[in-house]
Amino acid sequence: MNIHEYQAKALLRSYGAPVSDGRVVLRAEEAKTAAGELDGPVWVVKAQIHAGGRGKGSFKEEGAGDKGGVRITKSVSEAAEEAKKMLGRTLVTKQTGEAGKQVGRIYIEEGAAIAKEFYLALLVDRVTSRVSFVASTEGGMDIEEVAEKTPEKILSLSVDPATGYQPFHGRRIAFMLELEGAAVKQCVKLMGTLYQMFLEKDMEMLEINPLILTEGGELKCLDAKMGFDSNAIYRHSDIAELRDTTEEDPKELEASKYDLNYIALDGEIGCMVNGAGLAMATMDIIKLYGA
């Protein structure tokens, strides 16, 4: 199960991780008041959909303007204007597919002064069967592209579950990111916090892209993507409440009411299969024979 950026940031904030102050808006009329509660001089207006690449995305409808799903504004009224343009419209990004996703929520956030952007993620590494950190100096970018073209710029660090997170993990990440002084200390603490969150909340994936170094020399989580293990959601009623069913495929949603593991795919052949491995093999065979 995935959650929105603003929800992930609230969770980060509750663990003491550094995030900017922001307000979520569901209706255009609320945008001005929400932005007015935040400090300028820059307000960032961010479309909330369960997909990345929003900044470089584009809207299907003309009324949304041509500035993508993350907009930097210089006044409260401009922020409200941009929020109004995006609400209810369809954002297409590299991760949404052609159909795009309708924007039902907007997050307005205080703008940060960015000195550097990094990539940071925690995930379950199936090769080592451990939780791994993935860090890179190439933040704000497409990490798949970095992995392909400049793999040496990515540090992958797995944590032994017997010892758990240790300060040396954080220091290795800090040195990889070429941090200095107080930021190294902050990094060691932040990585420990993220690891703790990841375990306590049964996450599958936690991606901060970008993690930034501000001009003031502090680390901050500027974007946040979180995925949770659906089989463990019953242990976390607080997380279950964050589910936004409008983000899910209506067919999958309907099937889930009957406890069916239905995965919606495109194409014109349906597979009704007993077991995940058999499902994959069946699809491979169908594909092999040209369908």
Query: Judged by CB, which is closer to ligand ADP: 81, or 223?
Result: 223
Q: Per DSSP, which regions of the chain are E strands?
A: 22-25, 43-47, 58-59, 70-73, 90-92, 101-102, 106-110, 114-125, 130-136, 154-159, 203-214, 219-221, 225-228
Please tell me the distance from the alpha carbon of residue 63 to that of residue 75, in angstroms, as a whole number.
20
- By CB under 6 A, name the one of 203, 223, 226, 242 that touches ligand ADP: 223
Q: Is 119 a catalytic residue?
A: yes
* Residue nearer to Mg ion on the CB measure, 120 or 197: 120
Least distance (Å) between residue 44 CB and ligand ADP: 4
3-class DSSP state for residue 23? Answer: strand
Q: Which of 17, 44, 103, 187 binds ligand ADP (CB under 6 A)?
A: 44
Cα 248 → chain centroid: 16
User: Residue 51 CB, nearest distance to ligand ADP (Å)?
Assistant: 7
Strand 90-92 to strand 154-159: parallel, antiparallel, or no bridges (unpaired)? unpaired
Does the annotation count 218 as an active-site position?
no
Give the whole-angstrom CA distance, residue 178 versus residue 183: 10
Q: Any contact of residue 223 with Mg ion (CB under 5 A)?
A: yes
Question: Does 82 contact ligand ADP by CB under 6 A?
Answer: no
* Catalytic residue (one of 6, 107, 119, 165): 119
109 lines the binding site for Mg ion (CB under 5 A): no
Options 81, 82, 109, 207, the catalytic residue:
207
Scanning 104-112, 126-134, 244-252, 259-267 for contacts with ligand ADP by CB under 6 A, the matching segment is 104-112
Residue at token pair 């009957």: 258
- Is 54 a residue that touches ligand ADP (CB under 6 A)? yes
104 binds ligand ADP (CB under 6 A): no
> Nearest distance from residue 234's CB to ligand ADP, in Å?
30
Q: How far is the CB of 136 from Mg ion (least distance, A)?
A: 13
In angstroms, the CA 40 to CA 73 distance is 9
Distances (CA, A) of 66 to 63, 99, 116, 135: 9, 17, 26, 32
Token pair for 175: 């040195």
d(CA 275, CA 270): 15
Which of 48, 90, 136, 209: binder of Mg ion (CB under 5 A)?
Answer: 209
- Note the Cα 27 to chain centre separation in Å: 23
What are 156's two structure tokens? Answer: 């992958």
Which of 109, 138, 207, 247 binds ligand ADP (CB under 6 A)? It is 109
Do residues 224 and 9 lie in contact, with contact meaning Cβ atoms separated by under 8 Å?
yes
Rule CB under 6 A: say whether 105 interacts with ligand ADP: no
**For residues 131 and 251, what is the distance between their CA atoms, to the nearest angstrom?**
32
**Contact call for residue 140 and ligand ADP (CB under 6 A):** yes
Residue 49 interacts with ligand ADP (CB under 6 A): yes or no? no
Nearer to ligand ADP, 45 or 159 (CB): 45
- Asked if 53 is part of the footprint of ligand ADP (rule: CB under 6 A), the reply reads yes
Interacting residue ranges for ligand ADP, rule: CB under 6 A = 20, 44, 46, 52-55, 70, 109, 111-112, 114, 117, 140, 209-210, 222-223
Residues assigned a catalytic role: 119, 207
Interacting residue ranges for Mg ion, rule: CB under 5 A = 209, 223
